[in-house]
Amino acid sequence: MNPAVFLDRDGTIVEDVGVVSRPNQLVFLPRAVEALRLLGRYFRLFIVTNQSGVAHGTVSHEQILNVHRHLLNELRRQGVHIERVFYCPHDRQDGCACIKPKPHFLDVARREHNIDLSASYAIGDHPHDVDFATNGGATGIYVLTGHGQKHRGELASEARVADDLWDAARMILDRIDPKKMEVIDIDSQDNPPEQASR
């Protein structure tokens, strides 16, 4: 089975600018790409993002797909392979099964990509990213970028906290023995289509 890292998008990998409907709104946070490149040597990488703007009518599925296509291509160009992007297009009041912190997409990744959730991590700038990890049997790491500083007081006292994605990556790699981890060759992989729960 494969260990993985599940990453929030806005405020974790890219700047949180609100609703993102165009590729040119994506701005990588400092050291984020370097962190992904480092994590990608030993972990399968997934992006999991709540995009309630679809439910609110402020962004369409097609715009989300276009933004993510650009994001995957740019990361690939910089040596980062993302296995899949999962996004929930619902409002929290919809009662869907896929919105974080529900572990729906962790379960999908486990089944479809043979992921060992007990050896996996989820990283994000909202408390629900940490709860998402816990609910799926993974380990959560909270970052202080994006909305991280604002919601830090809502975390449980035992939550793991990192300054940013780079700091989170170092925290993860300090906990593993690289000699026991399979090194992943991203040159042999292609980006599959992303998945949304509708």
Active site members: 8, 10
CA 189 to chain centre: 19
Rounded Cα distance, 125 and 123, in Å? 7
Helix/strand/coil for 2: strand
Contact 173, 38 (CB under 8 A): yes
Helix/strand/coil for 26: coil
Contact 1, 114 (CB under 8 A): yes
> Any alpha helices (H) in the chain, and if so which ranges?
32-39, 53-56, 61-77, 104-113, 127-136, 148-151, 165-173
